[in-house]
Amino acid sequence: MTALDVTVTGVAETRASVSRVADGLDPGGPNMRASIRESGDGLARALAAAAAASPTPQAALVAQTITVSQAVDLAVKLGGGQPVGSRGTPASQLVAGSEHGGLHFSAPINAGGYWIAPTVRAYAAGPAARPVQAGVNRAIAAGGF
């Protein structure tokens, strides 16, 4: 039997590159936090645009309360106790009617929603992933791959 010598090179460099990619993919790290935040900001903009086009005028009032926050997880919130409109009604009292219409709202009842549910569905189906994918691509590129 003949002896065979094998020399492996680049192991340390490959491990370092993989480590850089892992760091870049950390959801708590700056790269992915920024990407996730960008996605949330995009949803907030989409919701505001949908509210402006909604047949319920209260939707525009509720949209004034849209906020995006990010501690560990991202949250896009609307409604709450913030007074809106000329009567100073808490936004939380207008959310359901602005979304589904009804007796005290100018639009007829729509169980599927006028602006919140349709916008979230459409955004989740495509645009939400784009900034996150860009963050993943940056992490991979930072690793030299």
| Length of the chain (residues) | 145
Q: DSSP class of residue 114? A: S
Taking the C-alpha atoms of residue 139 and residue 145, their distance in angstroms, rounded to an integer, is 9
Instruction: Please report whether residue 66 resides in a domain.
Output: yes
What are the two backbone dihedrals, phi and then psi, of residue 84, each rounded to the nearest 5 degrees? -135, 160
Asked whether residue 39 is assigned to any structural domain, the reply reads yes
The domain in which residue 40 lies consists of 17-142
Task: Quickly count: other Cβ atoms within 10 Å of residue 61's Cβ.
Answer: 21
77 in a domain, yes or no?
A: yes
Number of domains in the chain: 1
Please list the pLDDT of the chain residue by residue as tens digits (145 residues).
788 998 989 999 999 999 999 999 999 999 999 999 999 999 999 999 999 999 999 999 999 999 999 877 889 999 999 999 999 999 999 999 999 999 889 899 999 999 999 999 999 999 999 999 999 999 999 999 8
pTM for the whole structure: 0.83
Residue 69: beta bridge partners? 75
Long-range contacts of 59-68 (CB under 8 A, 24+ apart): 59/98, 59/99, 59/114, 59/115, 61/85, 61/89, 61/91, 61/94, 61/98, 62/91, 62/94, 62/95, 62/98, 64/91, 65/91, 68/37, 68/40, 68/41, 68/43, 68/44
Residue among 67, 61, 73 nearest 115 (CA): 61
In this prediction, residue 19 carries a pLDDT of: 94
Query: Is 8 part of a structural domain of the chain?
Result: no
Per-residue pLDDT, 14: 92
